[in-house]
Every structure is written in C-alpha cells, then in structure tokens.
Amino acid sequence: MSASPQAEFARIASADGRAAVVTVIAGDGVGEKLLLREDGTRVGSLGSPELDAAGAKAAEELMWEERSETREHGDTLLFVDATAPAPRLIVFGAVDYTAALCRLARAAGWRPFVCDPRSQFATEERFPDADEVLVAWPDEAFDRLGIDRATYVAVLTHDPKLDDAALGIALRSEAAYVGAMGSRRAQERRRERLLEQGFTDDEMERLAAPIGLDLGAVGPEETALSVMAEVVAVRNGRSGGRLQDKQGGRIHEVGA
C-alpha cells in the first residue's frame, strides 16, 4: 500500500529532503492532496488533471524558492507546503577566508563544502565546520556534489587554473549564485579569459565579482560576513541595502 501524500511529505521532511504537498483548502475537493517530489514524481491527486498540473507547477516553483504559500486556480484555493534541506555553499579554495566563511555559514544554518585539488591545504583539520572537504578539481567536485537551484558557489582563490575551471562549470549550471573574490583588475582579466573561452555577456552577468556586499570588510572574518550577507540576500531576493532605507514591505522574513 502506497503512502499518502502527507505521510510521504513527512518522510521526506524528516530525511532532510526536498518536496512540496499541495492541499485544496477552498472550492471543490477540499482536503485533496498532491505531493511533488524533487525528481518530479507525484503522489495523490487534487481531483482533476488540470488542477493536478496547476498544483504541480506551483509545488515545483515553491519547493525551490523554499517557501510555503496559498495559490488561487479559478475558484479553487490551494495551499502549498514546501520542505527543503539547508542551502549549500560550495567554496573553491582552501584559504584562510574559507575557514572563516565555513564558520559563519555553519552558524547561519547553511551547509558549507570546501574544494581544492591541493591536498596539503584541503584538510578536515583546517576546515572543521565544513560538511565535507574535497581534494578535487572543480569538474570532479561538481560531479560528486552536484549543482542545483539551491547551490551557491564562492570562488576564493586567485589561481586562474582553479578559478576559471570552477566558474566555467558554475556559470552554465543551475546554481542560484556564483561569486568570485579578487580585485577589480583581477576581475577584468578573469572576464577577458572567460569571454575568450566562449562565455557570453549574459552568462558573465551571473557572476558576482568582486564577491560580497560593500561592508568595508577587513580581514577574513569580516570578509566572510560580507560574502554571507550577499548570498543570504540573493537567496531571499533582496538587494542587501540598509533596513533604515527600506520603504514599505516586511523588514524580516518570518517562516511559514
């Protein structure tokens, strides 16, 4: 006997997975449920193919936006409840800034991963706050970790061999955010190299470089705060400006 949509949703949530369950809360079929898993498979029905399609579309959108809300479809009101694992921050470069960034990411509830092909630097002892430390080039690291719409990538090295390899994959992926450290002169040289490799202006527009918000950061800890401030703002669809300058709208998001 197959599990109900709500039971399957509970199972996925307890396993720290990604899914959304849609419930009819007004209109025909009140109480009917449809679950959409991350791989696109479904459990249950809202009562009609048309409503199932609309519910699945809303579920797919909101499971990746990682929020729950009501949606209207004609005379039917749906509630979409989404669950998702903590967001991932994949950091390339086993440098001092990376250790600080992992500490702050972990404190903020993110899952940091460190990747660097240099085994003498990429060690668990140096990065105890990382979920995993991978001694690997970017292609192997991404193959092992995967990239999806909830993946944030930060490139903190100054080695073109590593930088360009990581950015070359990340910029053409579904990653929600791709940022790179470096001076403006270094960014211009990096941009020239990537354009020579065939990257388009639109693809380059995805690159946040120099990485981070303008906090006037000094040292690894403040730089890590600058980077985390930017990725959190991107995740929440915010610009990262000062709250005192914000006009209207909610100041702090409140979980559903």
189-226: b or e for each residue (b if 16 or more CB lie within 10 Å)? Answer: ebeeebeeeebeeebeebbbbebbbeeebeebbebbbb
**pLDDT given at position 3:** 80
**pLDDT given at position 256:** 41
Using CA atoms, how far apart are residues 232 and 212, in angstroms rounded to an integer?
10
pTM of the model as a whole:
0.85
Domains annotated on the chain, with CATH: 8-83 (no CATH), 88-235 (3.40.50.720)
Average pLDDT by stretches of 10, the chain with 256 residues? 86 95 94 96 94 96 93 95 95 94 96 96 96 96 94 91 92 94 87 90 90 92 95 90 66 47
**pLDDT given at position 247:** 62
